[in-house]
Structure 1
């Protein structure tokens, strides 16, 4: 995710990167007092230009998270070992899934939990859920900024002079802090939200949220400790969202919408093995 300068022009330019991937943070310090504008490509048909929470209400990721493991530590040795273990050949089924998970274009991202939840969010048939996903995505993403910009951790593909499974993001990721993982935060935060909407599907939903974060390891875009920290911030943000009356109302309305929503298109979901 990308830091946003205080000037409106630079905020708008970097918000364009947010729309495409919502993980990209380029150079500069984020101001918690001046949240970015959200561009139309992220907003969609039923969007609002901000999340549920004011900047001052967001969890403080710098206070909540420990520093990332330093070089030559046992924690970093674990990160390196996991990075090596999760390296898969391009074109393998898991690598292909990781490449798909790397794409944070909003319309694509909303399909992440279709098979696990058993229905497909849609801006016309589930407008409240669509709004809920958009606004919570903004809150979860913004909540990672303080630690991400403070530590500016080098990503594994940069440290190893390698590549990721989503080349179009690589230039921005090279100057974007790796800790915590914004992708993992969004995936886990949405998993927690979907379990409230479809509690009888909780195991499948949480497994998909876990795999979404692990895709960042397969992609060589994050370290294991980045992914774990992203899940921590996601849980903190969702917990904070429950104190917001608008979020609670939207959860209840989304539960009703989900009972009327159609299942994913036939043939799009693999049978469980």
Structure 2
């Protein structure tokens, strides 16, 4: 159940806790476990079953060690910490706005919502019905990206912004789990930016839009008042490092080729999603 508790800390809360030991072979060395959430509804159980089926790409002990490239988080009283605090104050001012509502949506790591996040940036609907090979690739890599942040998280156990400023988060139901899960670096930022990098490789004519959406996915965690700016920035560093490592994995390479072939066959027939609301929110 150690893996389940780690996944719960990534912010999927109750549903992510269902992954249990089915993907234990991918657990990074040194990744201790935050407390698990409980109480799953049927939809959440079904969503997490898909993650369990996909597992992860990198065998135990082969993922990059984030402690080698993540510096310590900003020290109290430092200029870097003042920058983080200013970022948190700016985020609090956005509570109740359309950008705050988008942060609630981006907090959801349940499938298929997490992959559909990139549909507007891609220009077509990404999901199990429309792009099943792309979907499977993203879900499997999600485990590698998210868990790679844990060596650094567990070393520093940084307190999250809402624990320091006492203000609301966009996911109050997840706060009990998040209090026990280190803030630095952001697992959501790592996952979002990592997926953006994969999709940019698959859809190069939309690379700018896809990387920007991955960046915004992480930025939603600052808006939500659950991560500092530096947490999000270092999550992107973890994502880039894991993506480089994944590109050396033959199974990942084969799945990328299959996803590319799927898009070559289907993309022209896929309808563009309605993106007016999302575009307006992200423009704030």
Could you state the TM-score of these two structures normalised by the residue count of structure 1?
A: 0.84
Match of 1:75 among 80, 83, 91: 80
Deviation at 1:257, TM superposition (A): 1.6
CA 241–17 in structure 1, closer or farther in 2 if over 3 Å, else same: same
More helix by share: 2
Alpha-carbon separation, structure 2, partners of 1:74 and 1:18: 28
Of the candidates 102, 112, 130, which is equivalent to residue 97 of structure 1? 102
> Compared with structure 1, are the counterparts of its residues 149 and 14 closer, same or farther at alpha carbon in structure 2 (3 Å cutoff)?
closer
Query: Contact between 2:11 and 2:174, CA under 8 Å: does it hold in 1?
Result: no
Deviations 1:84-123 (A, max 9, x none): 1222343311111111111111221111100100122232
Deviation readout 1:135-176 (Å, 9 max, x if unpaired):
100000110111111110000000111221111111111111
Per the alignment, residue 32 of structure 1 pairs with 29
Aligned equivalents of 2:99, 2:31: Cα separation in 1: 39
- Alignment map for 1:197-216 (pairs within 5 Å): 197-216=202-221
Question: Which residue number in structure 2 is paired with residue 245 of structure 1?
Answer: 250
| Structure 2: tracts of 5 or more residues without a match | 18-26, 34-44
Number of equivalent positions: 256
Matches within 5 A, 1:174-193: 174-193=179-198
State the TM-score, normalizing by the size of structure 2.
Answer: 0.81
Gaps in structure 1 of 5+ consecutive residues: 6-10, 25-29
- Are residues 1:41 and 2:53 paired? no
Once the two structures are TM-superposed, the CA of residue 48 in structure 1 deviates from its matched residue by 3.1
- C-alpha distance 55-114 of structure 1, shift in aligned 2 (>3 A): same
> Cα RMSD over matched residues?
2.7
**Which stretches of structure 1, 4 residues or more, deviate above 4 A after TM superposition?**
11-19, 21-24, 33-36, 268-273
Q: Matches of 1:89 and 1:34 in 2, distance apart?
A: 34
Do residues 263 (structure 1) and 271 (structure 2) align?
yes
Equivalence for 1:224: 229
What residue number does 1:126 align with?
Answer: 131
Q: Which moved more, 1:76-85 or 1:183-192?
A: 76-85
Q: Counterparts of 1:213 and 1:170 in 2: how far apart (Å)?
A: 17
